[in-house]
Amino acid sequence: MKQYTTLKDVAKLAGTTAATVSYVLNDKQDRYISEETRRKVLEAAEKLEYVKSIGASSLKGKSRKLIGILVPQFENQFFTRIVVASEEVFVKHGYDLIICNTWDNPEREKAILNRLIQQRVDGIILTPTRNGTENTKLLRKVGMNMVVVDRPLPGVKDYFWVATNNYGCGYIGTQYLISKGHTHIGYIGWNSDIQDLQARRRAVMEAVDSNSIPIENLHIVEGGFSADEGYRLTQKLLTEHPDISVIFYGFNVQALGGVKYLHDQNIQIPKDLSVLIIGSPEWIMAGNNCFTHLDMNDLELGKKAANLLLDQIQKGEEIPFQHIIQDCSLVEGTSVRDNF
């Protein structure tokens, strides 16, 4: 069986005790250590290839140096980037990151959160499932540090939240389309029961309305969160409403399938149809178009969440709850043409 070198092993070889070894290796200043002893300890530790057990030391109240992060689907580049950016921050501060894919399944989320408590992680970053509020109750009870990212925690007042201005995304995008002369607009979205994401659709509707464009000119179809669904929804939208001059994709995963449909139908972008996308998957620069899109600055989101969590961990309960809402920015590509 696997056997790790312990403090006692090192102490025996160095001719001293575990306590002294601990002091030396942790480089504590509050105890006198002779140069001779220090040398012998370091040599022994080196020779025996001692590696401390964080698990054991955390029993004595030390930090476990572990963070958990839960995302619904981390092959979605939006979340991949959030994870990458936060990992970067955490590693820099000596924390390891446990990553968990919830697949937006509340039971799975619940099980994962329980396991993370078992691991006694120092904090958790999560994008909650639709049952997140219920599932995170235990976290609050045990006083777990937590930062919610992207989606909110409905019904909860005091918590840390880092997110995109979803309403803003929808509004800015629609306003832009209208400014380019588009008056017949299709919007494709996700029929999720997550309130905050519905803000995108709401913003589109309100932007259309506030520009005195008849609401009948706006056609909204919504469906599942996948490329295949994007394909299907695009087909449906164009079949039912061939008069639209632009499709506004609220979710990049669906947009990928949609763009595939347009290609299959030999519909040229932007000659035959303009396309606007919320999000910045890497493929927006591939193909024959650099797509016009709304960038959510995913990396910054991850970084902010990580720093906020570290703040909590380091300063304890003293810091006030915050909601950090990041605006998105419109990046012009070549996929939206003037339509006057």
Partner DNA sequence: AAATGATATGCAAACGTTTGCTTATTCATA
Partner DNA sequence: TATGAATAAGCAAACGTTTGCATATCATTT
Nearest 5°: phi and psi at 284?
A: -60, -20
Q: How far is the CB of 45 from a second copy (least distance, A)?
A: 13
For the segment 90-149, give every residue that binds a second copy (CB under 8 A). Answer: 91, 94, 96-101, 108, 112, 114-120, 138, 141-144
Q: Which does 117 bind (CB under 5 to 8 A by kind): a second copy, DNA, none?
A: a second copy
- Least Cα distance to 71 among 40, 46, 108, 35 occurs for 108
Neighbours of 222 (CB within 10 A): 17
How open is the CA angle 166-168-170, to the nearest 5 degrees?
75
Whose Cβ is closer to DNA: residue 59's or residue 285's?
A: 59
Q: Is 323 helix (H, G, I), strand (E, B) or coil?
A: strand
Q: Which does 158 bind (CB under 5 to 8 A by kind): DNA, a second copy, none?
A: none
**Which residues bind to DNA, rule: CB under 7 A?**
3-8, 15-20, 22-23, 25-26, 28, 30-37, 50, 52-53, 56-57, 59-62
Q: How far is the CB of 51 from a second copy (least distance, A)?
A: 5
Q: Which does 200 bind (CB under 5 to 8 A by kind): a second copy, DNA, none?
A: none
Structure tokens at 119: 């691991």
CA distances from 17 to 24, 49, 56 (A): 11, 17, 17
For tokens 């999560």, the residue is 126
Whose Cβ is closer to DNA: residue 33's or residue 267's?
A: 33
Please provide the DSSP assignment of 68-84 as one string.
EEEES-TTSHHHHHHHH
Q: How far is the CB of 317 from DNA (least distance, A)?
A: 19
Whose Cβ is closer to a second copy: residue 168's or residue 258's?
A: 258
Q: Which residues contact 250 (CB under 8 A, 6 or more apart)?
A: 169, 170, 187, 188, 189, 190, 197, 200, 201, 204, 278
Q: How far is the CB of 291 from a second copy (least distance, A)?
A: 9
Name the site residues for a second copy (rule: CB under 8 A): 1-4, 49, 51-56, 58-59, 64-66, 68, 74-75, 77, 80-81, 83-84, 87-88, 91, 94, 96-101, 108, 112, 114-120, 138, 141-144, 227, 256, 259-260, 263, 281-283, 285-290, 316
